[in-house]
Structure 1
Amino acid sequence: MPYQNVFVEFCEQIKSSIDQGTFAKLTFAKTMGDTELKNIYVQLRHLENGAYDFALNLRYKTEEIEQFYPAEEVFTALGTYIRNPFTSVVLFTTEMDLTFKVNKKGAGSLIEQDPTFKHASPAMLEIGKRNPAH
């Protein structure tokens, strides 16, 4: 299956984990070759108005850059890093770890494993306090 279709499904899982209050973090880790950009860590950031956005911490060989995206733009931004240079992204939730992978032929897959984290992200917990529906 082309990785774009699987990535859309992966993004739906991210949204679902936020809606359910189980989101812990998101990590881009495996790259294609030796690249300047080494990792991207994605976390929720609680805003004063009760909403949230996403903080992307881009870790390069020599520096770190932090970028912020509203929920409606973050998945488009994250998609630009798939195969450019990342081939693997892990969603950590309190219910499971879900790994999105792209192989050399461009096919995507999802692999579910036991959860690494027992607690949701601090921002997720804050959102839950202000929004009991989460």
Structure 2
Amino acid sequence: MPYRDVFVLFWEQVKESIEEGRFAKLTMAKTIGKPDLKNIFVRPIYSEEGFKVLVKMRYKLKETEDVENEMTLDEAFVFLKSHLKMSFWSVLLFTTTKDVTFKINKKDAGRITENLPTFRDVTQAKNDV
């Protein structure tokens, strides 16, 4: 199945984990080529105004400061989708019940796999912005 379609299915699992209070963290990994960007991390922010996420872009060079932005879930989806296959091959969803990995292969097909959970608790992001 084309990776874009599989990513939509993956994102449904992200939304479900948030609705059920199981979302711990999301990480974009496996960079393509030698980009300046090393990882993108997404952490939950639960507040009275509603659910948001803190998106942190981490760069390879120590001299380049991390960039953090608070986003809605829909904004994060569009942002992360724009980095698929441009900067990253995979996205890892960490929940308190399972870890879910989305990967793109060289034929542009997407795949979702599940593993035992890495996190037992949800830790909210602290926004320094």
Structures share fold, TM-score greater than 0.5: yes
Which SS does the other structure have where 1:18 is aligned? helix
Equivalent residue number for residue 121 of structure 1: 123
State how 1:106-117 maps to structure 2 within 5 Å: 106-117=108-119
CA contact (8 A) 2:43 2:124 kept: no
1:50 to partner: Cα distance: 4.4
CA contact (8 A) 1:23 1:121 kept: no
Equivalent residue number for residue 12 of structure 2: 12
Amino acid at match of 1:113: N
CA RMSD of aligned residues (A): 1.3
Equivalent residue number for residue 102 of structure 2: 100
Amino acid at match of 2:41: Y
Amino acid at match of 2:115: Q
CA contact (8 A) 1:46 1:52 kept: yes
Equivalent residue number for residue 35 of structure 1: 35
TM-score with structure 1 setting the length: 0.86
Alignment pair present for 1:78 and 2:93: no
Equivalent residue number for residue 60 of structure 1: 59
1:18 to partner: Cα distance: 0.5
Which SS does the other structure have where 2:120 is aligned? coil
How far apart are the structure 1 equivalents of 2:115 and 2:73? 26
How far apart are the structure 1 equivalents of 2:90 and 2:116? 17
Which SS does the other structure have where 1:89 is aligned? strand
Which SS does the other structure have where 2:17 is aligned? helix
Which protein is richer in helix relative to its size? 1
For structure 2, the residue ranges without an aligned partner over 5 or more in a row are: none
1:65 to partner: Cα distance: 0.5
Amino acid at match of 2:38: K
Q: How many positions carry a matched residue from both structures? A: 122
Which protein is richer in strand relative to its size? 2
Percent identity reads: 47
